[in-house]
Amino acid sequence: MPARLIDGTAIGEAMRGELQGEIRDLKRRGVTPGLAAVLVGENPASHTYVRMKGKACDEAGLYHETLRLPAETTEAELLALIERLNADHKIHGILVQLPLPKHINTQRVLHRVDPGKDVDGFHPENVGKVSIGDPTGFRPATPYGVQQLLVRSELEPTGKHAVIVGRSTIVGRPMAALLLQDGPGGNATVTVCHSRTRDIKAVTRQADILIVAIGKPEFVTGDMVKPGAVVIDVGVNRMDDPSLKKGYRLVGDVKFDEVKKVAGAITPVPGGVGPMTITMLLYNTVQAARQWARERDGEG
């Protein structure tokens, strides 16, 4: 029996609907949640992603700005722009679209974003808050979206063995922190695999929940999955396909056609984790606006 499909598009749309009440409440207090996206250079995938974020903000009723800078922008110029956004009360969330040009120090830029506006969750202050379960910290949107997919699909991780393939600071490590926490969407036993893991197949086959974020097209095959496991595919990769008009197709880090015959539930690519990433970015922006309004009004 083929695996149950986990529909990130439908879950994301439902969650955006749930957000509307809080957005209306904030607007009644004179606060329209605002998001600024900073894009440096001409990376086509980055332009597409930022455009999708702007569209999602429009649909949700959020204020947004997209600041496009040429590839030759200096690090000093970019830092100065971030300082301006840090001081702008219309902007509650700032995201710097990655990757940045090689002549710019990415860590220096991300660390300059005000932690209270760091809706990507990359600032060390938010990394620390997420690791200890502080609810005022911003959870990175992709692992936060994966956690919500599990909870809202009634695939609660409590007591399960979750194996994460990939240890990036954007997905793998914060994903482990979220799954370890005591509360809904947590309480899992977590193993993280990476490029130095020995006999990775033996590890992945132990997983009740297998989360794959390694950036390698169709890396996980059917023989790497325990029958009945939940498989979450975070990867998005382009593979050449001359049979299609656009010349390529999108695939994940999981060989979907094989794994769906073994797994109990699986996310598709596209339509799985991707829509949830943008949804959780909206949630983080609203959280940032709420926390700013409370501080403004002396609510603590």
How far is residue 2's CA from residue 19's CA, in Å, rounded to a whole number?
33
| 100: helix, strand or coil | coil
CA angle 254, 43, 52 (to 5 degrees): 70
Q: What is the pLDDT of residue 245?
A: 82
pTM of the model: 0.94
Burial of 240 by CB count in 10 Å (0-12 exposed, 13-18 middle, 19+ buried)?
A: exposed
How far is residue 121's CA from residue 189's CA, in Å, rounded to a whole number?
23
Q: Which long-range contacts (CB under 8 A, 24 or more apart) does 51-56 make?
A: 52/278, 53/95, 53/278, 53/281, 56/16, 56/278, 56/279, 56/281, 56/282
pLDDT, one tens digit per residue, over 250-297 is 899 999 999 999 999 999 999 999 999 999 999 999 999 999 999 988
Strand segments (E) across the chain: 4-5, 34-40, 63-69, 93-96, 161-165, 189-193, 209-212, 230-233, 237-240, 248-251, 265-266
Which residue, 251, 245, 248, is CA-closest to 272? 251
Catalytic residues: 53, 97, 120
Q: What is the CATH number of domain 29-114?
A: 3.40.50.10860
Within the chain, all domains assigned CATH 3.40.50.720 are found at: 141-273
Assess contact for 147 and 109: CB atoms under 8 A.
no
Q: What is the pLDDT of residue 300?
A: 61
Q: What is the pLDDT of residue 241?
A: 80
Beta-bridged to residue 36, according to DSSP, are 65, 94
How far is residue 28's CA from residue 212's CA, in Å, rounded to a whole number?
41
- Spatial neighbors of 238 by CB under 8 A, at least 6 apart, are 248, 249, 250
The one-letter code for the residue type at 215 is G
Q: Which stretches of the chain score pLDDT less than 50?
A: none
DSSP H helices, 96-219, are 106-112, 124-132, 141-152, 172-180, 200-204
Assess contact for 217 and 239: CB atoms under 8 A.
yes
Within the chain, all domains assigned CATH 3.40.50.10860 are found at: 29-114
- CATH pick for 141-273 out of 3.40.50.2020, 3.40.50.720, 3.40.47.10, 3.40.50.150: 3.40.50.720
